[in-house]
Amino acid sequence: MTTEIPVGRKATVKIPASSANLGPGFDTLGLALGLYDHVTVEVTDAPLVVEVTGEGQGEVPLDESHLVVRAIRAGLKAADVSVRGLKVTCHNSIPQSRGLGSSASAAVAGVCAANGLAGFPLGDDQLVQLASAFEGHPDNAAASILGGAVVSWTNVPIDGHSEPKHYAVGVKVHEAIKATAFVPDFHASTEAVRRVLPSDVSHLDARFNVSRTAVMTIALQHDPSLLWEGTRDRLHQTYRAEVLPITAEWVNRLRNLGYPAFLSGAGPTIMVLSTEDVDQKLKDEAIERGIRVLELEVAGPVQVEVNG
């Protein structure tokens, strides 16, 4: 029998941003970043109320179609609990549609808030599955749930009817590694940027990316001197350059100067992972050209606090 959560119970969630792919690890590697959305979900006896401030304010729906709300509903169903009403308050700091995992963070916020309201019956594996289902791949969502870096994968059932199964394992990140994000002032649709990718790639390019993904896991954990080599890619960034010319320009420029730069997710954000600071003159130039520069630490897992 479904349990009804009492009115007045409140879950507060702090969700880190994330960067996906990290160069070669297409739909596989992810990294949690120290930039956070904060979501509060309170059980009420009134109709749904959604409030949004910060990033996305005035741009996202304030009804049942809001991604956080849809994820809450999925989490409540998985936990076999119900509510009379909800008040959802979102304060967003993660730039929307910039390749920093804003949509994955929203999904994580919803399922983790629901889990907290229900008394935490769902484990990390279930949370990864629920949140990743909204994205279709687990790299961003898993990073925001588990923190640090993740290696993730998806198994698609051969029957053609069952839902894909999403999995992830955490990878501890070398304490000296930090991130610098260059965030251009325009949106990039993940779907639109995916459309430029070819349906087939050469065996040579596939082998190249397999090797660099392996190198990247070593670079992240043990040897940051390998980050430049570990962030090389032949599967997606070259193709996406034609629709993200500003991003491609900065990735190439930074890499030519020796910085381990890559396209963050589907872009347009450019990410640098390094143990050294990016030269201040380069950062100043980027700012002058309307590109936001964010110095970010590697983040820990999502945090959930429950009252009532």
104 carries a ligand binding annotation? yes
How does pLDDT run across 29-43, given as a tens digit for each residue?
999 999 999 999 999
How does pLDDT run across 191-238, given as a tens digit for each residue?
777 788 888 999 999 999 999 999 999 999 999 999 999 999 999 999
Q: Average pLDDT, stretch 160-184? A: 94
Q: Work out the pLDDT band at 190, boundaries 50, 70, 90.
A: low
Provide the CB-side half-sphere exposure for 297 (13 A, CA).
7
Cα separation of 50 and 231, whole Å?
39
| pLDDT over 80 (residue 187) | no
pLDDT at 189: 66
> Where along the chain do the CATH 3.30.230.10 domains lie?
3-172+299-307
> Where along the chain do the CATH 3.30.70.890 domains lie?
178-297
Q: Which CATH architecture does the domain made up of 3-172+299-307 adopt?
A: 2-Layer Sandwich (3.30)
Average pLDDT over the chain reads 95
31 carries a ligand binding annotation? no
Q: Work out the pLDDT band at 239, boundaries 50, 70, 90.
A: confident
56 carries a ligand binding annotation? no
130 carries a ligand binding annotation? no
Whether this prediction's pTM lies above 0.85 is answered by yes
E-state strands within the chain: 3-4, 10-20, 29-44, 49-54, 81-82, 85-92, 149-155, 165-171, 178-183, 261-263, 270-274, 292-296, 303-307
Window from 113-127, 183-197, 228-242 with minimum mean pLDDT:
183-197
264 carries a ligand binding annotation? no
- What superfamily in CATH does domain 178-297 come from? GHMP kinase, C-terminal domain (3.30.70.890)
138 carries a ligand binding annotation? no
18 carries a ligand binding annotation? no
Q: Average pLDDT, stretch 89-99? A: 96
